[in-house]
Amino acid sequence: MSVRDLHSFWEWGRKIICVGRNYAEHARELGNPLPGAEPLLFLKPPSAYLRPGSAIRPPRYSRRLQPEVELGLVLAKGGSSIPQEEAMGYLGGYALCLDMTARDTQEECKRKGHPWTLAKAFDCSCPVSDFIPKDKLPDPHSLTLWLKVNGQLRQQGHTSQMLFPIPHLISYISGIIRLEEGDLILTGTPAGVSDVQEDDELQAGIDDLVTMKFKVKSD
Amino acid sequence: MSVRDLHSFWEWGRKIICVGRNYAEHARELGNPLPGAEPLLFLKPPSAYLRPGSAIRPPRYSRRLQPEVELGLVLAKGGSSIPQEEAMGYLGGYALCLDMTARDTQEECKRKGHPWTLAKAFDCSCPVSDFIPKDKLPDPHSLTLWLKVNGQLRQQGHTSQMLFPIPHLISYISGIIRLEEGDLILTGTPAGVSDVQEDDELQAGIDDLVTMKFKVKSD
Ligand SMILES: [Mg+2]
Ligand SMILES: [Mg+2]
Ligand SMILES: [Mg+2]
């Protein structure tokens, strides 16, 4: 099988697939309808990866940058049309992620019927933690995700609230877009999104198991 | 610099960035407004690559699959905020490409304000020719792109008609999304898009310099 090191998946992984509106409270706070029978998907390119120690630089065209704290799934092997019952076997582990969103741009894209690329795929739009091996999070549907900005709690949610749980996501996505080793799936964000500004410090975590920090900097 | 072989960019390249509405006649035929001051961007994942010899399989949720013949740009080196005057120096060559589009799905995405992922990023959505070294196409803005379906001409257009020429595209994109070696940029399609059906044979070309064939197959 693999000769690649999942511990540095962001250096060589070729795909980031994101799920929108996977927590009901968050869909409502943005005034979005809940997804129908199927998850809502969008993409980020691997150039969006950002590692702790680097600053988040907002895209020049946005005045409303918002972080969305999300659980990321890292694929250990690829596949197409993966059955839900087998989906967990394709997982190598997890990463804590921020789905950085240019909210004003996204609203314009939605209004105009444009792709979401400018809102979601810009450089720095995917800060990620260290790789978390699968056995460190034996029940990924019973985790608390949280985000603090300058020490104040902004988002907190529980992965049991996902509208489409992990096996459903992996199975559904792999029926449309072939998954490959090193791919990352962002599983959606709980409620509480809000704007961040220059010099804000973002700290995100999974319970008290994982934490990461990023600073926002325009230069 | 590089140890990677651009002749197989689809095996290791990490990004496909597509430009929409870059030929005025095509924008009009779909009833779309022309782009404003900036190109319209969307993404395909590298899992979308398809090589001659493999069949194009329509996604199960679409009844209106349409090929768009496009000139692809293959990056020989990466960069951010590349000035237009230097942009051609980042190019390693070209590929003839089809931007396979689930048109009915795209119309629904546009209506609902959804991302275009289901319409544009499915498996088989990026058939590509062999790599074409840069010196084989010394003037990329004076090429005729054409597409035949079952021997009948459907699309024909000239790259001089691009609303945003190549240096503009590279410069603009690299200001938002960092480019990397092996990335592919699809530069938009001329007028004449139409549906294809099971068993149709698609033949596309650049003048009489490059040609490729694909067959549509549902299984
Ligand atoms: Mg999100
Ligand atoms: Mg997209
Ligand atoms: Mg196109």
* Domain of residue B136, CATH code: 3.90.850.10
CA–CA separation, A59 and B72 (whole Å): 26
**CB-hemisphere CA count at 13 Å for B16?**
31
Give pLDDT tens digits for A124-171: 999 999 999 999 999 999 999 999 999 999 999 999 999 999 999 999
Element at A206 (helix H, strand E) = strand A201-206
| Tokens encoding A159 | 């992965």
% pLDDT > 70, chain A: 98
Number of domains in chain B: 1
Give pLDDT tens digits for B8-36: 999 999 999 999 999 988 878 888 888 88
Instruction: Write down the ipTM of this complex.
Output: 0.96
- Whether A113 maps to a domain, the answer reads yes
**CA angle A169–A6–A185, rounded 5-degree value:** 20
Preferred mutation among B43, B105, B109, B180 to probe A, highest tally of A CBs within 10 A: B43
Residue B79 · residue B181 · CB < 8 Å: no
Tell me the residue range of the domain where A105 lies: 6-70+81-135+164-215
Residues in B whose CB is inside 8 Å of some CB of A read 14-15, 17, 20, 40-48, 59-60, 80, 109-111, 113-118, 120-123, 175-180
Chain B positions in Cβ-Cβ contact with residue A40 (cut-off 8 Å): 114-115
- What pLDDT is attached to residue A3? 62
- Whether A131 maps to a domain, the answer reads yes
Give pLDDT tens digits for B99-158: 999 999 999 999 999 999 999 999 999 999 999 999 999 999 999 999 999 999 999 999
CA–centroid distance, B69 to ligand 3, in Å, is 7
Chain A positions in Cβ-Cβ contact with residue B80 (cut-off 8 Å): 123
CA–CA separation, A9 and B121 (whole Å): 21
Element at A170 (helix H, strand E) = helix A166-174
The closest of A14, A73, A39 to B44, measured between CA atoms, is A14
Nearest to B177 among A17, A115, A122 (CB): A122
CA–centroid distance, A116 to ligand 2, in Å, is 5
Return mean pLDDT, chain A. 95
CA–CA separation, B45 and A188 (whole Å): 19
Q: How confident is the model at residue B2 (pLDDT cuts 50, 70, 90)?
A: low
Residue A194 has pLDDT above 80, yes or no: yes
Tell if the CB–CB gap between A17 and B43 is shorter than 8 Å. no
- Whether B138 maps to a domain, the answer reads yes
- Whether B1 maps to a domain, the answer reads no
Preferred mutation among B116, B125, B171 to probe A, highest tally of A CBs within 10 A: B116
SS (H, E, C) chain B: CCCCCHHHHHHHCCCEEEEECCEHHHHHHCCCCCCCCCCEEEEECHHHEECCCCCECCCCCCCCEECCEEEEEEECCCECCCCHHHHHHHEEEEEEEECCEEHHHHHHHHHHCCCCHHHHCCCCCEEECCCEEHHHCCCCCCCEEEEEECCEEEEEEEHHHECCCHHHHHHHHHCCCCECCCCEEECCCCCCCCCCCCCCEEEEEECCCEEEEEEECCC
What's the whole-number mean pLDDT along residues B75-104?
Answer: 98
Return mean pLDDT, chain B. 95
How many pairs of residues across A and B have Cβ atoms under 8 Å apart?
95
Count the Cβ atoms, other than its own, within 10 Å of residue A78: 17
Residue B17 has φ and ψ, to the nearest 5°, of: -110, 125
Tell if the CB–CB gap between A118 and B46 is shorter than 8 Å. no
Residue A126 · residue A38 · CB < 8 Å: no
- Whether A118 maps to a domain, the answer reads yes
- What pLDDT is attached to residue B1? 45
